Structure 1
Amino acid sequence: MDTEYVTTPFGRRPMTLGMLIAQRRAEHARPAKSVDKWKIHRALCEAKPILGVTDRALAVLSALLSFYPKNELSDGANLVVFPSNAQLSLRAHGMAEQTIRRHLAALIEAGLIVRRDSPNGKRYARRSRAGEVNEAYGFSLAPLVSRAEEIEHLAAEVVAERLHLQSLRERVSLHRRDILKLIETALSDGVEGQWEAVHSGFRSLIDNLPRSPDVNQLEALLSKLSRLHDEIVNRLEKHAKTTKLSGNPYQNERHIQNSDSESLSESEALPQKQHVVLSAASVEQKLQPHQAPTDHSLEESVLSPAMAQQHFERLKDKPIAVKAFPLDMVMRACPEIAAYGPGGKIGNWRDLMTASVVVKSMLDISPEAHHQACAILGPENTATVIACILERASHIKSAGAYLRDLTRRSQKGEFAIGPMLMSLLRANTAGGIQKLA
């Protein structure tokens, strides 16, 4: 490293303990042999909420990185860049020099760069006759090398948190849609119960949600919606069993009439008995997550045969989401990924998704392939597949191409995760299958 000697700022700028710690951490932290400067910059962009730096500060850092001639930042190289503020302004898209100085101070405070001031405060370099830089004064990029592993883990945590939040929003959206349609079914079939009060309680849950909810708020809402959903399904199941046992032909005739009403488009008016359900459309603007497919077998079981057939015709062309396997089973089949989790262990699905993002970068899986896999398989199943790929990494030439192929086959219904996990279980644990039985 080039930070063997602790330097202090030139002029009236004071020396702070944060500057001292940043320089010493660059010296004594476990070094990485080399890192791609643009790859570590992308990781910083992901981890900026945790590091406390702004996008403008990262734009100044990008300009500083552009002055380093090589793409690789390595331990033994001279990592000091020495551009003037005027040149930095040009490469930072015309940012004012006063603003540049403020963001440079923020980068130093965050420990991402180290100031190496000359005796007169100028930025310059002394070169040998061969043109090599012997000594340079400016800004050292050494902390990016020493903190590369830390930055990548922070970026992985942010990505995993974002995927977890997206998954929660999708599940909340599914519960919201299912509850509305189940209440509509109860009203149309004349199921006994205070359905208007149930609908009002459902609306209050959605209306009280902030415009940009966090993970804790979504988890609490999902728990309440799950209980409400289960209660409605139980009532409909009891009504369906009672109707089936009674064998009353009038009931069957009423079901046929209701199936006719189901063929109406959503824009057509429903009977006055159902107008309360339609008023809930205003809550669709509170959360706007991506609509994911769900299991409709239970919903079809409480409908009449004609209604179920029409419901199936509307949904048969939509892909069915792949269900996630138990986390304990995944970890017994794929124990190697635990080393990449927070603190070297995995205790929940969020930890597994965090580890999978780290492994994704290590296996050179492109962000596009990872995003497509998450969209088709779901975040949990994508993390499971990446864990399986890690177990067999020595037998796979291109992990990215393999993941894209599995995603494509899964979309066509030609791939299942179960056999892959079972094969790894047999290889890693002799009695794995007997324990699951």
Structure 2
Amino acid sequence: MQTQTVTTPFGRRPMSLGMIASQVTAQNAPEGTTVHKWHVFRDIKEARIALGATDRALAILDALLSFHPETAFYGDSALIVWPSNEQLIGRANGMSPATLRRHLANLVECGLIVRRDSPNGKRYARKGQGGEVEQAYGFDLSPIVARAVEFKALAEAMRAEKKAYKVVKERLTIARRDIVKMIEAGIEEGVPGNWGSVHIEYQAIIGRLPRTAPRQVLEAVAAELDDLWQQIREVLESFVKSTNLNANESQTERHIQNSKTETKIESGSGVGPKVEASGSAGESDNVRSLPKRELPLSIVLDACPNVLWMVKGSGGIRSWRDFLAAVETVRPVMGISPSAWEDARVALGEQQAAITLAAIYQKGDQIKSPGGYLRNLTDRAKEAKFSVWPMIMALVRAELDAGKALKLDTGEVHGDQHGAERVIRTEQRLEVSDALRKTMAKWDKES
């Protein structure tokens, strides 16, 4: 078949340098090259995004390929098809004529087909006496052969990109899961560390992750999570090693003590009775001697003013409901796990647990592991060895002592005037017994 090269489209459709480049590429298809049209079409689908082709355009290309009777395309064969718009619409899932024209233009722009328009814009073929096609006007499928190698390379690159994207997504998922669970483990096991700050750092990293992000962004976030994962892992492993070492030493000490033949401890009046007198019995007596009434909210706020920072600008804390809401905000900042908080609420009651948490928050600089500290207090509360009264009174007296010390040094109270006023108000509200003062002093020593 002899074909005349048509370089410009019919009608008002403009010509572009991209169309000329596509036509040149189609004319330069290597002779003797043979490709399987459906294999090439599969590669084109894989590389659709890189080529800039739409999914509807590929549906039209699929229809165009079906109009050519041969499955194998040759570099030196005629690859022009001339279906009407009605025929294309029938094979392209019934899309509208306007949609058909728009996506045909997309195929031309991507260089997947070349227009061979007739003088009047119609698509047809002129045949000779023997029935052989001499001239055809329609869509040239030569780029399928000419760019087959390029399409395959693009498809392989896209498959590699999809695999890399999937790998980094899996990496992100595992890193996020590991970090969250390791933080929870550190809090649950009482590992020393500022787990609240670690959790905030983790949230900051995750916060930079958009809903849909390219692989490069995911790689950067994954690298940051890997660094944080490594830091947490090192802390936990160091704690495990030190704990095992201490456990081994304790076992050795117990073995040495148990191997002694002397029975001074058993026969004397020493350790056993002393532990009972100064430990469970004494603590239980002190707790029973504490006031049975609930702590007023005003005294709790005087003792724990730091919790007010969490409700700044919202009207302050005016009721126990406001106080509980503020403590719920404080808890994750302190790195206390939900399970530790739930255990405390069950053992102490919701209000007493909230007061305990506020007191721990007030003494944050002195407590390395708030979660472990809360669990210890919870265990003591289960044995009736803990009350919030001495804890709050110790904080009140600490403010009073600080105010008195400042006044002795300077003769005046400036910066801590409000704190001193809170202490005076608190003393006026309470009648502190001698037993309670002794318990407060003991609490100060223990804390």
TM-score normalised over the length of structure 1: 0.55
Q: Secondary structure at the match of 2:190?
A: coil
Listed one character per residue, the Cα deviations across residues 359-411 of structure 1 (whole Å, up to 9, x for unaligned) are xxxxxxxxxxxxxxxxxxxxxxxxxxxxxxxxxxxxxxxxxxxxxxxxxxxxx
CA distance 1:29–1:128, change in 2 (3 Å): closer
CA distance 1:85–1:135, change in 2 (3 Å): same
Distance 2:200 2:32 in 1: 58
Where in structure 1 are there 5+ consecutive unaligned residues? 251-267, 276-437
What is the root-mean-square deviation in Å for CA atoms of aligned residues? 2.9
Match of 1:270 among 327, 339, 363: 339
Answering whether residue 156 of structure 2 is matched by residue 163 of structure 1, we say no
The aligned counterpart of 1:111 is 111
The aligned counterpart of 2:133 is 133
The aligned counterpart of 2:175 is 175
Alignment of 1:248-327 (within 5 A): 270-272=339-341
Distance 2:225 2:72 in 1: 50
Shift of 1:209: 1.2
The aligned counterpart of 1:355 is none
Please say which structure displays the higher CA radius of gyration: 2
CA distance 1:14–1:216, change in 2 (3 Å): closer
Answering whether residue 214 of structure 2 is matched by residue 220 of structure 1, we say no
CA distance 1:274–1:138, change in 2 (3 Å): farther
Shift of 1:74: 1.4
Letter aligned with residue 270 of structure 1: S
Answering whether residue 223 of structure 2 is matched by residue 244 of structure 1, we say no
CA distance 1:136–1:154, change in 2 (3 Å): same
The aligned counterpart of 1:98 is 98
Letter aligned with residue 216 of structure 1: Q
The aligned counterpart of 1:229 is 229
Listed one character per residue, the Cα deviations across residues 46-91 of structure 1 (whole Å, up to 9, x for unaligned) are 1111111111111111111111111112112210000011111111
CA distance 1:4–1:133, change in 2 (3 Å): closer
Letter aligned with residue 134 of structure 2: N
Listed one character per residue, the Cα deviations across residues 315-364 of structure 1 (whole Å, up to 9, x for unaligned) are xxxxxxxxxxxxxxxxxxxxxxxxxxxxxxxxxxxxxxxxxxxxxxxxxx
Letter aligned with residue 84 of structure 1: S
The aligned counterpart of 2:352 is none
Distance 2:26 2:147 in 1: 8
Q: Secondary structure at the match of 1:270?
A: helix
Distance 1:228 1:182 in 2: 11
The aligned counterpart of 2:150 is 150
CA distance 1:12–1:193, change in 2 (3 Å): closer
CA distance 1:189–1:31, change in 2 (3 Å): farther
Distance 1:245 1:101 in 2: 77
Letter aligned with residue 184 of structure 1: E
Shift of 1:4: 7.1
Shift of 1:218: 0.9
TM-score normalised over the length of structure 2: 0.54
Distance 1:9 1:48 in 2: 25
| 1:2–1:76 Cα contact (<8 Å) kept | no
Q: Secondary structure at the match of 1:126?
A: strand
Shift of 1:38: 1.7
The aligned counterpart of 1:347 is none
Listed one character per residue, the Cα deviations across residues 195-221 of structure 1 (whole Å, up to 9, x for unaligned) are 121112112222331111211111111
The aligned counterpart of 1:430 is none
Q: Secondary structure at the match of 2:136?
A: strand
Where in structure 2 are there 5+ consecutive unaligned residues? 252-336, 345-447
Shift of 1:166: 0.4
Shift of 1:192: 0.6
Shift of 1:270: 2.2
Distance 1:73 1:10 in 2: 27
- May I ask how many residue pairs the two structures share in their alignment? 261
Distance 1:273 1:179 in 2: 22
Letter aligned with residue 88 of structure 2: L
Shift of 1:128: 3.8
Letter aligned with residue 108 of structure 2: I
The aligned counterpart of 1:66 is 66
Q: Secondary structure at the match of 1:43?
A: helix
| 1:32–1:148 Cα contact (<8 Å) kept | no
The aligned counterpart of 2:196 is 196
Letter aligned with residue 339 of structure 2: L
Distance 2:57 2:2 in 1: 23
CA distance 1:104–1:32, change in 2 (3 Å): farther
Q: Secondary structure at the match of 2:35?
A: strand
Letter aligned with residue 78 of structure 1: A
Distance 1:274 1:230 in 2: 30
Distance 1:46 1:88 in 2: 23
